[in-house]
Structure 1
Amino acid sequence: MTRILRSQGFVTALGALVLALVAAIGYLVVFDPARKTVAYCAVMPDAVGLYPGNHVTALGIPIGTVNSVRPEGTGVRVDFEVQEDRALRGEVTATTVSDTLVADRDLAVLGEPGAAPWDRSTCITKTFTPKSISQTLQGFSQLAGQLTGGGNPGEQTRIRDSVVAFEAATSGTGPELNKLITDLGDALRAPDAAIGRIGGLLDSYSRLMSSIALNWDDIEIVLMQATEGIAFINELWSRVVQLIDSLLVILPWLNSIAREYGRPILGALDGALPGLRLLSANVAGLQQLVSMVPPIVQFFEEVIDPATGRPQLTYAAPKVALPRAEADRICAALNGLRPGHCDGAENGLSDVNLVSLVLGTVGAR
């Protein structure tokens, strides 16, 4: 046994056995082949750079392995499995990612933690794949062709004309833009100023609210009585509206009168001016003028017939005074013609109704 244990072959074999045991333990610890997994599938637009054995990642952390990649319809079906404790939940999306443009890609999946588990009988259809270099260059080439007019000589100067137009539009605005950027930088370097202004506004608002709270009783009274005031304003405004509506009728009427009779009216006023001056000179005061109004009103009432409403005129025939010496003789003669038309003479005079006497002689009544 001593010779065997000291032999070089035994030491080599023992070292190899220990290395194999360490490797096996490391594999079990790192890869944990006994860990349970959950199978899923995803339908990708394409699977460029994705092969069986590639990693399945979540937020950059490997959680599973791609099992197979095969065409299905217009896309590619990717079957993969993930660790049971990292089962997919909620609305799941899948895409292919890679650190470089030429290396193999990993399948990255993203779910909603805390949501309901994803139905494993349904493939993930919300999938995306990065554009290839050729597709990217082709898209850039199309964009460049559109910008340069697509070979049309009349459109090839489009970019240059646009730059010239932009330069003309922004000419002279450099100082204003520089000032704007400078002011913005000052505001960003001193944010306390804006915060101080906001604080001042809050303090002012607080004082305003305090004042309202202290005088709330008076404010409440004003608000409660505002209904009556608003109702009064509404009523007054309705009358103002009625007055304005009346003016809409009166003003055209006054305008038509002024157009047709303005000159005669002004002439009459000019003619009445001397009379008004004479009246003002003869009237001692306003009280005397007002005292003259009732007789004038009574006169107009007597002129209007109360039965028909038409104007009427009462006429008194003139009388003739006779001398005393001849009054009795003349009255006797007149009474002979028209009995009772000559009154007795008084104070040497006698009143005779001359009109009725003259007209009565020819048969009038």
Structure 2
Amino acid sequence: MRAIVGSSKRRLAISLGTVVVLLGVITTIGLTSAGATGVDDSAPGGDGFCVDIADTIGLYEGNPVTQMGIRVGTIDRIESRGDHVRVTFALDPGRTYPADVKAVTRSKSLLADRSLELVGNYTGGPVLEEGTCVGVENSFTPKSISEVAASASDFLKSLSDNGGDDLETALDGADRAFAGTGPQAARMFENAARAAQNPDAFVADIGSSIRDMAPLTDDAVKNWDQIMSIMNQMPSVTQLGTTLFYDVARFCRGIGWTIALMYDIQRNYGEDILWPLLHGPVEDIIAYGAQRAPELGQLVAMTPSVAAAMREQESVSGALSVPYVAPKIDVGGGKSAPVNALSILLQKAGLQK
């Protein structure tokens, strides 16, 4: 049994090894073929090649000519030809280029010099001959860089037009604004550098924020219908709120008028009439009225309409009620005699003696 298992493992290992070797051979052949595309040791090169291009910003005599990022020649001359520029360059021997090769100006950064990149490997057909030019239709330049440079030029020109001092004023203002801010800027960059060296905490905080917001977003998705209903009703609610605020303003204005009226009454009649009346006869009337509630009830009962209203009020469940105890006066001998509240009221009013 062990012999059978060992034989199976050996056959599997041999099969896997064979597959790996075949893949390596195929990959090597493919890379060799790709690397050899366009390579021709008999290609003489030359210095009569040229390209017509829209602009040559960043291109100078002596800049490299490249293909796939590898230097294959040098720019010899740059000439203006009306609405375009002709760049004449020399190519090193050992490589062939198709007749319809494309030319592109390439730069590693915005401010770096550009190189002339030839795009397109030769796989067969006509070749680029010495003395022929790549047309404008097959040449390209990064317009964004050109536009940035043109915009910067226009900006600087507008600052210094007609000998004005706008640029000088701007630079002087910037100098005053940045004066003394060097230490603070240095500390800011140092803190940023330290934060960049250990971003784990910052990334962890972002992850925690996203994780904590997950329940909120889940609830929002579940209740999206209610949210949309509220949003759809918001215009009507806002309109009602506008009317409500108008009514509140009117109410507040009425309160202001009431307070002003009360102030006028207090100022004109308070000390001489109002407060003496309230602390005198009115207070006594209220006190005697509270003590003689039964007699007042009998008096009110004599008026049919008032009596009916009071009975209706009393019969309603939960109606207003005032608990009271009829006052009594001890006249001696352990007996109490009721006091006529109406007589007392008439006496206080000066109508009865």
> Does the pair score TM above 0.5?
no
Higher RCO (CA < 8 A, seq sep 6+) = 2
Give the TM-score of the pair, scaled to structure 2: 0.38
